[in-house]
Every structure is written in C-alpha cells, then in structure tokens.
Amino acid sequence: MGRVEGKVALITGGASGLGAEDARLLAREGARVVITDVQDELGRQVAAEIPGALYLNHDVRDERRWGEVIAETLKAFGRLDILVNNAGLVRFASVEEMSYADYKIQVDVMLDGTFLGCKAAIPHMTKGGGGSIINMGSVGGMKGISAIPAYAGAKGGIIAMTRSIAVHCQEQGYKIRVNSIAPGAIETPMTAQALAELPDDDAGLDQVQDQGMGKPIDIANAVLFLASEDGRHITGANIVVDNGETAH
C-alpha cells in the first residue's frame, strides 16, 4: 500500500473500463485522482466510489479544455504527478468500408488526445519536479487486424509517439518518464462491443477464443508500476500485457 502516496493522478476516459480501474487502484495506493470523460453520469459514479476524487467533463480533442482541466487539477490538488492518457473508442470496418468520419474520430480522440495531454501536462510536471506519463496503446497497434485500421493506426502512433516524447523529456533534463502500455484482450465495454460486432471467425478474436481475456486490474497493475518508484528506471518503453498474444 502507498506506492503513489501523496501523488496526484489525472486519468482520461476514467468513467469505465480500464480508466476506472486505474483510478481505483491508484487511489487505493495513496494518490488523489482526477477522472475525466464525456460520460458524465458514469464518471460521477466512479468518482463517488473514491474518497476525494474529482470528476471533470473532458473532450480530449479540445486543446483549450486540456488547459482548463490541468488548471482545475492544480486548483484542487496543487500539483500533477501522473497522467494516464486512456480515453479511446473503436469503430469496426475494413479500410474499404470505413467512412472518413469514423476514421477521423478515432485518430482525433486517441492519437491527438494523447499528444494534447502530453503537451499540456509536461510544463506543470516539470515545475513539480517530474512525473510519469502513461499512454494507452494496444496490441491492435502492433499486429494486423483487418477490422480496425483507424484504431490500429492511432494505437501504433501512440506507441511510436511515446518514445519520441520520452526522449524529448530526457534531452531537456526533465524528470518525466513517458511509457505506453499495450493491452491485449481485456474484459471491458470496448471488448464486449467487439465480441458483439465482429464475426466469430474474425482473426482479431483469436486470443479471446484461444487464451481468454484478462481483467482491467491486469492493466491497472502495470499503470501503478509505471506510475510508482518501482518503474523509476523505465522510460520510452511499451509494456505489453496480452497473455502471449503477440508472442505467437
């Protein structure tokens, strides 16, 4: 207990799934948490479970709103030590079938949202003496799955961008570690959507059918590790949590 005691963590997409579990675990380990999302009712419910948690409506595509969210976090807690760029969504279709609108919203939320979050947080983390940024990638950004071209592009971009931002922070002498996590199949609302929408023989479901799914806590444990002093010598890394999916 207490592995992030006294730290302040901001988790985007924290109203459900992985983000909600990240918020719960970081809070249990001593962090004060700010949960942001566009799902207000669910977000407030999660925040109500966590003593002292703050919920904020937040469209991660909005650069101005990022500034406001950081300012509200600093007003409430005085610092920012941990940022988890977790907000995401998926639309299923092949490259031939997917509309540009469906492509664009996925890239805007996940890749652009992660860029904006890092850009907004870094100056304030440097003032506080450093911090840890954790960006949510996916094995979908590492292997070919035909039904998720936009999601794959966004998640692959997040993994690559994470390395670039990590190197920048080192070059500037900032004590900010920047890493990504690539989950495989995890029991979340997004995975439930995939199971409902994809045909049973879709290659993207092989891991679910062959090895089963992990739990949100499996990803939250990796987030905690990277956020805490346990991960103090790790930056620019992509931590794969997929029960061997990408090993085959």
CA 110 vs CA 107, 159, 224: distances in Å: 5, 11, 21
Q: Would residue 151 show up in a list of annotated catalytic residues for this protein? A: yes
Composition of the chain by helix, strand, coil, percent to 5: 50, 15, 35
Direct distance between the N- and C-terminal alpha carbons of the chain, in angstroms, rounded to an integer: 36
Cα–Cα distance, 242 to 21 (Å, whole number):
17
Of the residues 55, 100, 151, 174, which is catalytic? 151
- DSSP conformation class of 108: I
Q: CB-based burial of residue 6 (10 Å sphere; 0-12 exposed, 13-18 middle, 19+ buried)?
A: exposed
Q: Which residues contact 94 (CB under 8 A, 6 or more apart)?
A: 146, 147, 149
Cα–Cα distance, 27 to 71 (Å, whole number):
20
Token digits of residue 144 = 């070919």
**Residues classed as catalytic:** 151
